[in-house]
Amino acid sequence: METVREWLNALRTGECSARDAVTTALERIRTVDPQLQAVIAIDPERALAQADTIDRQRAGGEDPGPLAGLPIGIKDVICEKDVECTCASQILKGYRPPYDATVITMLRRAGAIPVARLNMDEFAMGSSTDHSAFAITRNPWDTNRIPGGSSGGSAAAVAARMLPCALGSDTGGSIRQPAALCGVTGLKPTYGRVSRYGLVAYASSLDQIGPLALTVEDIALLLPHLAGHDPHDATSANLPVPNYPAALFQDLRGVRLGVPKEYFIAGLDPAVETAVRSALHLFARNGADCVEISLPHTEYAIATYYIIATAEASSNLARYDGIHYGWRAPESTTLDEVYSHTRRRGFGEEVIRRIILGTYVLSSGYYDAYYLKALKVRTLIRQDFTRAFDTVDAIVTPTSPTPAFALGEKLNDPLQMYLSDIFTVSVNLAGIPGLSVPCGFSPDGLPIGLQILAKPFDEMMLLRVGHAWQQLTDFHLRRPPVCATSFSRPTTHA
Amino acid sequence: MITPETVAYLARLARIELNETDLARFVPPLQEILAYVAKLNELDTSQVEPTAHVLPLTNVSRSDDPLPSLSNAAALQSAPCTDEGCFLVPPVIE
Amino acid sequence: MPDFAPVIGLEVHVQLNTATKMFCACPNRFGDPPNTNVCPVCLGLPGALPVPNAAAIEAAVKAALYLNCSVSSFSKFDRKNYFYPDLPKAYQISQYDLPIGTRGSLEIEVSGTTRRIGITRIHLEEDAGKLVHAPGASLVDLNRAGTPLLEIVSAPEIFSPEEAYAYLSSLRLLMLYLGISNCNMEEGSLRCDANISLRPAGSSTLGTKVEIKNLNSFKGVQKALAFEIKRQSSLLATGTPIVQETRLYDAATDKTLSMRSKEEAHDYRYFPDPDLVPMTFSPEYLARLRDNLPETPQHRAQRFVSAFGLSQYDATVLTSDPALASYFEDTIAAGASPKLAANWIANNLLSALHQTSTSIGACKIRPPQLAALINLVETGTLSSTSAKTVVFPAVFEKGIDPNAVVAEMGLAQVSDTTQIDQWVVDAIRANPDVLDSLRKGKVKAVAKLVGSVMQMSRGKANAALVSQRIAAILKDMHGIEISG
Ligand SMILES: [Mg+2]
Ligand SMILES: [Zn+2]
C-alpha cells in the first residue's frame, strides 16, 4: 500500500478503515522520519478525529468523498485552521491561522486527511530544504544529500513512503526540483489553476500549489480536488476543470514533443543528459514525434526570476513584524526595536538576503532598471513558450541540471544555488504547467527527473505524456534505501 | 556596485537591524547577484510591454455583500501582545 | 512688507459608504467593539488574498465622472510599502500611475465670484486601522483597516483659505449628491490634508511647500491656512527661508506646530499588486454611468428657481443637502404649494431640525404630513398661528397626521358666517361704547369687537373672516364704514 491508488483501493474495499490509514501513516512517520526530518509537526488527535468521522459516515451509508481516508502531508506554507503554520521560520513560531486554505477545504470535502506539516526552505526560499529554521531534511536516497527544495519535506515524505501524497508549492521549481531529486512525481499546475488562497505568499505572481505523489496516475486522482475557480483568489482562472483521469487512457501516438536546445548546456550533469536523451528515444519509439525547438531567452530566466520574486517577496514578507501574529523578539521596548529586532532575528539569512535584494530592485531610482526591465524580459520568456507551443504539444527537458547535492554544499554560495533553478524558473515566469517524473538514476544511485511542460491549462497533456512514460518505465516505483522493504499491509487495530 | 551604505539603507527601509558584521557578510553575495542580473541589459526591451500578470484576467471583483467576520478572540489568537481586544504595541510617537 | 500670495492644494480622503470593505466582505461600519469587523484579509494574515468590492470601484468611477475627470480605459492597483502598526500588511493597496480619474474640476463660489478648481487625480485605496494611545503603549484596532477610501487631490489652484473652505464644501456636497459617502468629518468619513506655499504677489514660481495634517473640520482647514499664511509671510518678510515640513494643526489654539519628529526617509516602492488584476472600463460602461449621474446641486437650484418660482436664496438653502432638496420636492408632490413648502422647510423645519440635532433623514414629519399641514392653513381650516405653535411641533415630535392633531385638540377654525355673524352682533350689543368711538373716527376701537368675538368663540373663529364680517355688519346695520 504505497500509491494513492493502492491506499484508496484498500479504503474503498474496507480492507483498511480511515482510522487504520491515519494510524499507518503516523507509524511510518514515527519509523522513518527520524532519519529524514521531513515532518515539522503532526497532530494525531485531529487526524484521527477526522478519520473517525469518515468511518462513521461510511458505516452509516453516507459517501465520505472520493478521497475518503487518504492521508496527505501539507507543506508548512499552506494554512490549516488552528494548526501552527510556520513556513519553517522562527518569525511565524506560534502562528495559528484562524482559517483554512481553499485547497484544504477542498481536500477535506473530498475526504482526504491532512496528517503532517512538512518541512521546507524558510518561506519557500531555497532549493535544498537546508534553509529551514527547524530541521534539515535529508534525501531518502542518500541522507548526506539535500532532498531539493523548497518542498523538500513533501518530496522526501512521499519518496520514503511515509505518506502516499503531499502538497507542495512551486514558485521557481519548488515542487518539480525536489520531486526530481527524491525520485517522485510532482506537478506545478498552470498559474491560476489552483487557488492560492491560504498559501503563504512568497512571490504572488509566480506561486502555485501542487501535488507530489509516486505516480502520474496518483497526481491525476488528486488534481480534480485541488483545481478550480476560487472567488477568494482574484488571480484564479474561471475555467471548467477537465476530467484529469481521462488523460490516463491516451497514449503517445501523434504527440509532438519539443526539446529545447538551450537546456542542454555546459554544467548539465552527464548522467542527467544521458537519462533525458534516452527518455527521448523511448518516447520516439512509442509514437511521439520529438523535434528540437528553441527557447532563446532561457539564459535570462534566472536573473528575471530573482528580480521579480525578490521584489514581490520584499513586500509580501513585510507583514512579519512582530505585531499582529507570530513571534516578537523579546526585550524589544520601542516600536522600532519590535520591527527591526524581530525581523533581524526572526528571519534566516537567505530570507533577509532576498528581502534586501527585492527592496533594492523596487527602490526609487532602480525600479526601471531592475524591476520594470525584468517584467519586460518576462514578456520575452513567455513569448518563447507561446511560439514553441504553436508547433509542439509538450516540451521535454531535464528538471534539474544535477542530481541531489551534498548537505550544505551551496549554503554559502547563493548565486550557485540560484543557478540550479535554471530549468524550472522559466515555467513560473510564463505561468505554464510543469510536471517532473523520475527518468533514471545517476551512477551514485541518485534519482534524475524529467520535466514535461505544456500550454497554459493543458495539464491533460502533461498527465498523458507522464503516465505513458510511467507505463514504459519503473523508475517511479523504485524504493529508496530508507524504506527498502515495502510497506505492503496497513496497520489494523482491533 | 552596491555599497555597504546602500545595503544599510535598504535594511533600514525593510526594518531589519543589520550591524557591521552583518553588513560584511551580506554585501558580497548581493554584489555578486546584482552583477549577475545585470545580464538583462544585454537585451533591448524598448519595444517590449511588461508582464505583470501571466493570465489575461481583468475586472475580477466581488459583490458588496457582507459575510461574517472573525470573533475578536480568533482575530487575536496569535498576537504576541494584546489588551482590551486590541493588538498592543510600544507607544507610537506622532 | 511685500505682499505674499498663497498657493494651496488639498488632498481629501472620502470614506465610501459601501456595505463591505474594499477587499474583503467584513462590514464597513463605524463604532463597533475593536477588532470585531476583521477577517484574514483585512488582518493581513499570511495567505489571505484581496478581492475588490465592485460597488466601491463603481462609486469611484462615478465620482471621477461627476468631478469631470477623464477616466481611462485601464486602471490598476499598486502596493505602497511602509511600516506602521495600523497597516497590518505593511503595505497599503492604493493606486499609483494609473488612477481611476485624472484632470477633473470643481466649481466654487466665493463672495459672488465663481471659479473652477482643477482636480489632479482621484484614486481608490484601502484605509488603515486606528491607533489608540494609552499610557506606555498604543492599542491597534483594525475594524477600519481595509475600508474603501477615495483620495481626491486638487491642483494647486486654491488661492485663499476662503476658497479652500468653499472647495471642501462644494466637494462634500457633490459626494453627498452622489450618495457614495456620509462625509462626516467627526466620524472621519471625510478627511483633509493641505499643502500651502507662499510666493510674492504676481510671481509665477512656487515657493517652498508645507504640509498641514490633523485638520478635522472645514473651519479648521480655513483657520490653519490663515495661520500658515501669517506665519510664512512674516518669515519671508524677514528673509527667513521656509522649511519644507509637515505641520500639525492644533484646534485648541488655531496654530500649526512642526512635527519635529526625525524625518525618516520615505521610499514607498510602489509596484503593481500581483494579487489583483487590472480594471478596464469600456466606453459603453462609462457612458451608462455618466447618463445616470445625479443632477448637480447647481442644476437643481436653478430648476427650483425656474420651475417653482423660488428665490435664488431659498433654492440654494434647499439644495444644500440632497436629502433636504428631495424632501422639498416630495412635499410638493404631496400637494403643497411650492412657495409655502419652501418657507415651511427653510424656516420652521430647518430650525426645528437644528434645535433637536436631527437629520432630515431621521425627521419624523414626512413630506405628506407637511403638505397636509400647509394645506390646512391654506384652506383656512387652521390658523397660521396654531399651525406654527401647536400643530407643527406636535407633528414634528410624534410624526402623526396633522389632521388628527387638529381634530384631537379642536383647533379647527370656525369659518361659518352665520355663527360668526351671531358672535359679532352679540359683541356689538355687549360693547355699546364701541359704536360711539367709531362714530368719532376712532377706528382702533374695532379691536375690542374682535377680541370679544374671539373670546366668545374660544379663539376658534377664523380671524380674517371675523374682521371681514365686523366691517360688513357695522356698515349694513349701523352705517359705519371702517375700511377703505
Ligand atoms: Mg492616500
Ligand atoms: Zn475583512
Test mutation, B5, B16, B59, chain C, max C CBs within 10 A: B59
| Structural domains counted in chain C | 3
What pLDDT digit, counting tens, does each position of C13-22 carry? 999 999 999 9
Pairing mode, if any, of strands C148-154 and C4-15?
antiparallel
Are residues A253 and A222 in contact, defined by beta-carbon separation less than 8 angstroms?
no
Higher pLDDT: C118 or C404? It is C118
Q: Is A410 a catalytic residue?
A: no
What is the per-residue pLDDT for C263? 59
Q: Once rounded to an integer, what is the mean pLDDT over residues C331-359?
A: 88
Asked if C43 and A324 come within 8 Å (Cβ–Cβ), the reply is yes
Q: Once rounded to an integer, what is the mean pLDDT over residues A199-227?
A: 98
C466 falls within a domain:
yes
Residue C404 CB contacts under 8 Å (≥ 6 apart), including other chains: none
Window 125-184 of A, Cβ < 8 Å to B: none
Instruction: Give distance in angstroms: CA of C466 to centre of ligand 1.
Output: 68
**pLDDT at residue B77 is higher than 50:** yes
Q: Once rounded to an integer, what is the mean pLDDT over residues C186-196?
A: 91
Mean pLDDT comparison of A409-423, C84-98, C370-384, C444-458, highest-scoring range: C84-98
Which residue, chain included where needed, has cell 487512457? A249
Closest CA to C168 of C224, C230, C117: C117
Instruction: Give distance in angstroms: CA of C170 to centre of ligand 1.
Output: 20
What is the per-residue pLDDT for C265? 66
C232-237 long-range contacts, Cβ below 8 Å, gap at least 24? C232/C4, C232/C196, C232/C197, C232/C198, C232/C207, C233/C1, C233/C4, C233/C198, C236/C2, C236/C4, C236/C198, C236/C207, C237/C1, C237/C2, C237/C4
Name the minimum distance, in Å, from the CA of C13 to any CA of chain A. Answer: 24
Give the nearest chain B residue to A457 (CA atoms).
B55
What is the per-residue pLDDT for A490? 56
CA distance C272 to A308: 11
What is the per-residue pLDDT for A331? 85
Q: Once rounded to an integer, what is the mean pLDDT over residues B66-89?
A: 97
Asked if A328 and B74 come within 8 Å (Cβ–Cβ), the reply is no
Residue C316 sits in the same domain as residue C219: no
What pLDDT digit, counting tens, does each position of B49-76 carry? 999 999 999 999 999 999 999 999 999 9
Q: Once rounded to an integer, what is the mean pLDDT over residues C85-100?
A: 97
Are residues B87 and C84 in contact, defined by beta-carbon separation less than 8 angstroms?
no
Higher pLDDT: A217 or C248? It is A217
The total of other beta-carbon atoms located within 10 Å of residue C172's CB is 19
ipTM value, please give it: 0.96
> In the structure, how many helices (H) and strands (E) does chain A have?
15, 11
Q: Once rounded to an integer, what is the mean pLDDT over residues A295-321?
A: 97
Pairing mode, if any, of strands A256-260 and A289-293?
parallel
What is the per-residue pLDDT for C394? 80
User: Peptide bond preceding A150: is omega within 30 degrees of 0, i.e. cis?
Assistant: yes
**pLDDT at residue C162 is higher than 90:** yes
Q: Once rounded to an integer, what is the mean pLDDT over residues C177-202?
A: 91
Closest CA to A11 of A74, A45, A44, A57: A57
CA distance A119 to A110: 24
**pLDDT at residue A10 is higher than 50:** yes
Q: Which one of the listed residues A17, A174, A400, A420 is annotated catalytic?
A: A174
What is the per-residue pLDDT for C294? 95
Take residue A237 and report the three cell numbers written for it. 482562472
Question: Which chain B residues have a beta carbon less than 8 Å from that of A373?
Answer: 40-41, 45
Mean pLDDT of chain C: 90
Residue C404 sits in the same domain as residue C437: no
Higher pLDDT: A411 or C271? It is C271
Residue C352 sits in the same domain as residue C436: no
**pLDDT bracket for residue A491 (50, 70, 90):** low
Which residue stretches of C187-271 are H helix?
218-237
The domain boundary, picked from C352, C383, C409, lies at C409
Higher pLDDT: C344 or B37? It is B37
Higher pLDDT: A273 or C245? It is A273
CA distance A396 to B57: 28
Residue C225 sits in the same domain as residue C299: no
User: Which one-letter amino acid corresponds to residue A454?
Assistant: A
C460-463 long-range contacts, Cβ below 8 Å, gap at least 24? C460/C410, C460/C411, C460/C412, C460/C413, C460/C414, C461/C413, C461/C414, C461/C420, C461/C423, C462/C380, C462/C383, C462/C413, C462/C414, C462/C415, C462/C420, C463/C383
Q: Once rounded to an integer, what is the mean pLDDT over residues C4-16?
A: 95
The minimal CB distance from A335 to the residues B2, B45, B92 is found for B92
Q: What is the CATH number of domain A4-238+252-298+378-477?
A: 3.90.1300.10
Q: Model-level pTM?
A: 0.91
What is the per-residue pLDDT for C484? 44
Test mutation, C35, C75, C91, chain B, max B CBs within 10 A: C35
Q: Is A150 a catalytic residue?
A: yes
Give the nearest chain A residue to C51 (CA atoms).
A234
Closest CA to B76 of A455, C139, A167, A392: C139
Name the minimum distance, in Å, from the CA of A250 to any CA of chain C. Answer: 36
C454 falls within a domain:
yes
**pLDDT bracket for residue A494 (50, 70, 90):** very low
CA distance C177 to C186: 19
The minimal CB distance from C47 to the residues A79, A234, A315 is found for A79
Q: Once rounded to an integer, what is the mean pLDDT over residues C9-35?
A: 97
What pLDDT digit, counting tens, does each position of C261-286 carry? 555 668 999 999 999 999 999 999 99
C378-387 long-range contacts, Cβ below 8 Å, gap at least 24? C378/C337, C378/C340, C380/C413, C380/C415, C380/C462, C380/C464, C380/C465, C381/C406, C381/C412, C381/C413, C381/C415, C382/C406, C382/C411, C382/C412, C382/C413, C383/C411, C383/C413, C383/C462, C383/C463, C386/C411
The domain boundary, picked from C233, C259, C285, lies at C285
Residue C191 sits in the same domain as residue C326: no
Take residue B73 and report the three cell numbers written for it. 478572540
Share of chain A above pLDDT 90, in %: 93
Buried b (16+ CB within 10 A) or exposed e, A321-345: bbbbbbbbbeebeebebbbbbbbbb
Take residue A394 and report the three cell numbers written for it. 509538450
Q: Once rounded to an integer, what is the mean pLDDT over residues A15-38?
A: 96
Q: Once rounded to an integer, what is the mean pLDDT over residues C330-359?
A: 89
Q: Once rounded to an integer, what is the mean pLDDT over residues C105-133?
A: 95
**pLDDT at residue A32 is higher than 50:** yes
Residue ranges making up the domain that contains C214: 4-285
Q: Once rounded to an integer, what is the mean pLDDT over residues C442-457?
A: 86
What pLDDT digit, counting tens, does each position of A336-369 carry? 999 999 999 999 999 999 999 999 999 999 999 9
Residue C252 sits in the same domain as residue C331: no
Asked if A231 and B40 come within 8 Å (Cβ–Cβ), the reply is no
Q: Once rounded to an integer, what is the mean pLDDT over residues C233-239?
A: 90
Would you list the domain boundaries of chain B? Answer: 4-41
Question: Which chain C residues have a beta carbon less than 8 Å from that of B61?
Answer: 51-54, 57
What pLDDT digit, counting tens, does each position of C42-80 carry? 999 999 999 999 999 999 999 999 999 999 899 999 999
CA distance C190 to C216: 9
What pLDDT digit, counting tens, does each position of A57-85 carry? 999 999 999 999 999 999 999 999 999 99
Residue C426 sits in the same domain as residue C344: no
How many beta-carbon pairs under 8 angstroms link A with C?
104
What is the per-residue pLDDT for C416? 81
Interface check B85 vs A, CB under 8 A: no
Test mutation, A92, A308, A323, chain C, max C CBs within 10 A: A323
